């Protein structure tokens, strides 16, 4: 047993966390059409700055990396400038934030690609089922296999996006190598059937991951880089014929690079759903990773307060990420410390839409203000509304006043 708890500080490389409660990447599909974060992103992230670390929503490294409508990017200066108020707001609240770098690969659609081109992937193998495209749900398409000589340009795009993230004020970056997106597609042999230096053997299939990690660390420093993996997830048709050997190799290679952290998606999580039943790689959980990886570990997937406390106190992980709980509870660390009830997240507002389900989940302080307004202990402030322009120090009162009017 370790003498630490979920609420103690921890250092992950160069990242200093005030606690071990992490906000993981949460796609909310509210960015502007040109890939700039939406105007309400500043307040949304700042509301949650009490997290020990915020990992941004998946942020595309290039126009070709886009795989969902209304996601943000980090490939041009307009996007960089639009992220600066977000990172400034988090830092002003004492928080830390890293950008998750994302290329969706075959998990895209021509309606989301420049000039309607076919999405790229390691091999000409389509994902089964439907995806979210520009005009609704449509079948995935067969991707165009990347030519060997095209891959260095994608590695460079990752490195440039990492540099852009630092310019935008992010404290570091997290490489999205999970959940069936481009890096994961190259790693696992269900999607990678190449015959060049990026396919076949485990060493070859891991080559893109490691080239990208090295390119990013050369730009921002290994101590500011995390990597997200989901060895057990079958989301978007992911599977490998020998996952234990594959991820043993990957963990060894990442450990030698002394990164800030490894972000592990635990078994039982497929995309944004919790599932039951055994799958081929379900033995690759945080306990297995701890035995095979000496660096810092953030784990996500199915954690509640007690399970997270046990995982940190036992030394199995160094921090725990809570996804849906952070959507609905902007002050989640305080609620966990005080054992306060948690708000329920509303799935119908997860992706897209306006500020409903985005800015309007209350903190404990906001709930107390509502009680004070109701009982006449606090006076309302005329003209105050909860929206993208609301000052951070006023949002809780704005929420309370909005609720008072709604419930009248």
Three-state DSSP class for residue 65: helix
Count of beta carbons in the 10 Å neighbourhood of residue 201: 11
Question: What does pTM read for this prediction?
Answer: 0.96
Strands (E), 239-371: 261-265, 269-270, 273-274, 297-300, 319-321
Q: Give how far the C-alpha of residue 359 lies from the chain's centroid of Cα atoms, to the nearest Å.
A: 18
Residue 393 has pLDDT above 60, yes or no: yes
Q: Are strands 10-12 and 15-17 parallel, antiparallel or unpaired?
A: antiparallel
Model pLDDT, residue 212: 98
Residues β-bridged to residue 173: 99, 225
- C-alpha to C-alpha distance for 170 and 99, rounded to whole angstroms: 6
Mean pLDDT of 236-248: 95
Residue (of 52, 30, 34) closest to 43 by Cα position: 30
The contacts of residue 165 (CB under 8 Å, 6+ apart) are: 59, 74, 83, 98, 99, 101, 172, 173, 220
Model pLDDT, residue 136: 85
- C-alpha to C-alpha distance for 73 and 56, rounded to whole angstroms: 11
Model pLDDT, residue 133: 87
Residue spans of alpha helices (H) in 28-130: 41-47, 77-92
CA-to-CA dists, residue 63 to 162, 204, 282, 354, 357, angstroms: 15, 26, 34, 24, 27
pLDDT tens digit sequence for 113-165: 999 999 999 999 999 999 988 888 999 999 999 999 999 999 999 999 999 99
Mean pLDDT of 261-288: 73
pLDDT tens digit sequence for 87-97: 999 999 999 99
Structural domains present in the chain: 10-361 (3.20.20.70), 362-408 (no CATH)
Residue 277 has pLDDT above 80, yes or no: no
Which pLDDT band holds residue 315 (cuts at 50, 70, 90)?
Answer: very high
Residue 276 has pLDDT above 90, yes or no: no
Residue 282 has pLDDT above 90, yes or no: no
pLDDT tens digit sequence for 207-224: 999 999 999 999 999 999
Mean pLDDT of the chain: 95
Q: Which two tokens stand for residue 322?
A: 């809570």
Three-state DSSP class for residue 23: strand
CA-to-CA dists, residue 210 to 75, 78, 173, 184, 206, angstroms: 21, 29, 15, 12, 6
As annotated, the active-site residues are 181
Model pLDDT, residue 302: 87
Model pLDDT, residue 275: 54
Residue 367 has pLDDT above 70, yes or no: yes
Which pLDDT band holds residue 283 (cuts at 50, 70, 90)?
Answer: confident
Which pLDDT band holds residue 407 (cuts at 50, 70, 90)?
Answer: confident
pLDDT tens digit sequence for 22-47: 999 999 999 999 999 999 999 999 99
Please give the angle made by the CA atoms of 28, 260 and 332, to the nearest 5 degrees: 45
Mean pLDDT of 354-371: 97
**% of the chain beyond a pLDDT of 70:** 96
């Amino acid at each position: 047993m370790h003498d630490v708890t979920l609420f103690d500080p921890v250092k992950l490389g160069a990242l200093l966390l005030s606690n071990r409660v992490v906000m993981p990447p949460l796609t909310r599909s509210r960015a502007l059409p040109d890939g700039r974060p939406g105007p309400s992103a500043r307040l949304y992230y700042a509301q949650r700055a009490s997290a020990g670390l915020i990992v941004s929503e998946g942020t595309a490294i290039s126009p070709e990396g886009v795989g969902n409508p209304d996601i943000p990017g980090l490939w041009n200066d307009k996007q960089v400038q639009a992220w600066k108020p977000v990172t400034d707001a988090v830092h002003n609240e004492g928080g830390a934030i890293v950008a998750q770098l994302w290329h969706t690969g075959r998990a895209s659609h021509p309606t989301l690609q420049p000039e309607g081109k076919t999405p790229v992937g390691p091999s000409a193998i389509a994902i089964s089922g439907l995806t979210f495209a520009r005009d609704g749900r449509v079948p995935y398409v067969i991707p165009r296999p990347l030519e060997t000589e095209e891959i260095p340009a994608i590695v460079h795009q990752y490195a440039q996006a990492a540099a852009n993230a630092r310019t935008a004020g992010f404290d570091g970056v997290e490489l999205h190598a999970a959940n069936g997106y481009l890096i994961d597609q190259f790693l696992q042999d269900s999607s990678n059937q190449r015959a060049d230096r990026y396919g076949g053997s485990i060493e070859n299939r891991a080559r893109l991951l490691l080239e990208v990690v090295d390119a990013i660390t050369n730009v921002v420093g290994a101590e500011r880089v995390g990597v997200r993996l989901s060895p057990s997830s079958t989301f978007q048709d992911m599977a490998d014929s020998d996952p234990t050997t594959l991820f043993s190799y990957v963990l060894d290679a990442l450990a030698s690079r002394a990164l800030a952290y490894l972000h592990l998606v635990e078994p039982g999580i497929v995309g944004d759903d919790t599932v039951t039943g055994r799958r081929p790689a379900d033995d690759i959980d945080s306990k297995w990773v701890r035995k095979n990886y000496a660096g810092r570990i953030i784990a996500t997937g199915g954690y509640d307060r007690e399970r997270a406390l046990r995982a940190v106190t036992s030394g199995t992980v160094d921090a725990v990420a809570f996804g849906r709980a952070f959507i609905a509870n902007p002050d989640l660390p305080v609620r966990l410390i005080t054992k306060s009830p948690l708000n329920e997240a509303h799935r119908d507002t997860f992706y897209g839409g306006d500020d409903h389900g985005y800015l309007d989940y209350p903190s404990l302080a906001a709930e107390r203000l509502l009680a004070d307004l109701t009982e006449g202990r606090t006076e309302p402030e005329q003209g105050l509304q909860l929206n993208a322009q609301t000052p951070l120090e006023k949002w809780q009162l704005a929420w309370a006043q909005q609720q008072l009017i709604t419930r009248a």
